[in-house]
Amino acid sequence: MQSTKYIWQNGEMKLWEEVKVHVLSHSIHYGSGVFEGIRAYETEKGPVIFRLGEHIDRLYYSAGAIKMKMPWTKEEFKNAVIETVRINELKQGYIRPLIYYGYGELRISPLGCPVEAIIAAWPWGKYLSADPIKVKVADYIRIHPKSSVTDAKICGHYVNSILSFLQVNSEGYDEALLLDFNGNIAEGPGENFFLAKEGKLVTPLLGNILAGITRQSIIELARDLGYETEERIVLLEEALAADECFFTGTAAEVTPIGSINGQLIANGKIGAITGKLNEEFMRIVAGENEKYSKWLTYV
């Protein structure tokens, strides 16, 4: 990983090499942290952070789901994110805030542990290929909404994503697709799923998935471009018979899906709507579309 100079921890800027957590921190043992993945983009007027307010809102929602009492206001935390990008002189990249239960007592209850946080940021390019990727339905289903607070971004949830990725990766695929407990499409390990059929977009309902900020942005952008999105149950068969399929996410941005389970989606190439959404999305984050400047925080 390419490092930057500073990482923010509990209100202080520390050198990248010197930030520490104790090995008996609760979150290391039980996955009881919450986090965000945020992108910063380069624009003519300097770096911008994409939808910072929404990411901070989700971070605080996730923290609330595991009863963390946040020592910082949202405004203070937002400013710490901006400061981390600024002090590292980052032009573009990935920002990773993590709130965790630190060193206190070691038992299931985290309530005897302090709530601590770090914010790191580093230069980062594409996460998945810009070319259509090969996806396979994982043997693991997405965690059941009654097993956890599914729409919170809790560290422990990511074992479900990691297992799914490792399985399909070992079989030669680029990324996994997880079904929900009813066998309908849920999402990727770190991405939301969309399909396009006859000029309309379809995406799985909220409930079994993370409420992706990119997902919401793409629904809004698509509407402005004249494409309505239906949020409903999505069958795997519909995806296989779609004109286009793609993933969205902070890391994935808009990633075209070329095949699922070895079966091509249409001709396996980037579809017209996917291409258009990707192009417009990249213009927005580059600060080239005034209409969406509300989504950008200048550093």
Matching residue, tokens 């399929």: 245
| Cβ contacts of 25-28, under 8 Å, gap ≥ 24 | 25/100, 25/101, 25/102, 25/103, 25/113, 25/116, 26/100, 26/101, 26/102, 26/103, 26/104, 26/105, 26/106, 26/110, 26/113, 27/100, 27/101, 27/102, 27/110, 27/155, 28/100
Closer CB to ligand PMP, 84 or 160, in the complex: 160
Query: Rounded to the nearest whole angstrom, what is the least distance from the CB of residue 12 to ligand PMP in the complex?
Result: 27
- Specify the 3-state DSSP secondary structure of 250: coil
Window of 188-196, 234-242, 263-271, 290-298 that interacts with ligand PMP by CB under 6 A: 188-196
The pair of three-digit structure tokens given for residue 175, joined into one six-digit string: 């990324």
Q: Does 164 bind ligand PMP (CB under 6 A)?
A: no
Query: Rounded to the nearest whole angstrom, what is the least distance from the CB of residue 267 to ligand PMP in the complex?
Result: 27
Instruction: Look at strands 115-122 and 6-9 and give their pairing.
Output: antiparallel
Of 34, 49, 59, 210, the residue at the interface with ligand PMP (CB under 6 A) is 210
- Specify the 3-state DSSP secondary structure of 99: strand
CA 79, distance to chain mean position in Å, is 21
Q: Does 212 bind ligand PMP (CB under 6 A)?
A: yes
- Specify the 3-state DSSP secondary structure of 19: coil
Closer CB to ligand PMP, 113 or 285, in the complex: 285
Closer CB to ligand PMP, 212 or 287, in the complex: 212
Window of 65-73, 81-89, 195-203, 205-213 that interacts with ligand PMP by CB under 6 A: 205-213
Window of 84-92, 121-129, 211-219, 276-284 that interacts with ligand PMP by CB under 6 A: 211-219
Site for ligand PMP in 34-73 (CB under 6 A): 37
Q: Does 204 bind ligand PMP (CB under 6 A)?
A: no
Interatomic CA distance for residues 132 and 147, integer angstroms: 33
Of 151, 174, 180, 191, the residue at the interface with ligand PMP (CB under 6 A) is 191
Query: Rounded to the nearest whole angstrom, what is the least distance from the CB of residue 106 to ligand PMP in the complex?
Result: 27
CA neighbor of 275 nearest in space, from 294, 293, 255 = 255
Query: Rounded to the nearest whole angstrom, what is the least distance from the CB of residue 129 to ligand PMP in the complex?
Result: 17
Q: Does 285 bind ligand PMP (CB under 6 A)?
A: no
Q: Does 96 bind ligand PMP (CB under 6 A)?
A: no
Interatomic CA distance for residues 27 and 33, integer angstroms: 5
Q: Does 280 bind ligand PMP (CB under 6 A)?
A: no
Number of residues that bind ligand PMP (CB under 6 A): 14
Q: Does 249 bind ligand PMP (CB under 6 A)?
A: yes
Q: Which amino acid is at 266?
A: A
| Helix, strand, coil percent values for the chain (each to nearest 5) | 30, 30, 40
Site for ligand PMP in 98-137 (CB under 6 A): none
Please identify every residue annotated as catalytic. Answer: 153
- In contact, 141 and 209? CB cutoff 8 Å: no
Residues that bind ligand PMP (CB under 6 A): 37, 161, 187, 190-192, 210, 212-215, 248-250
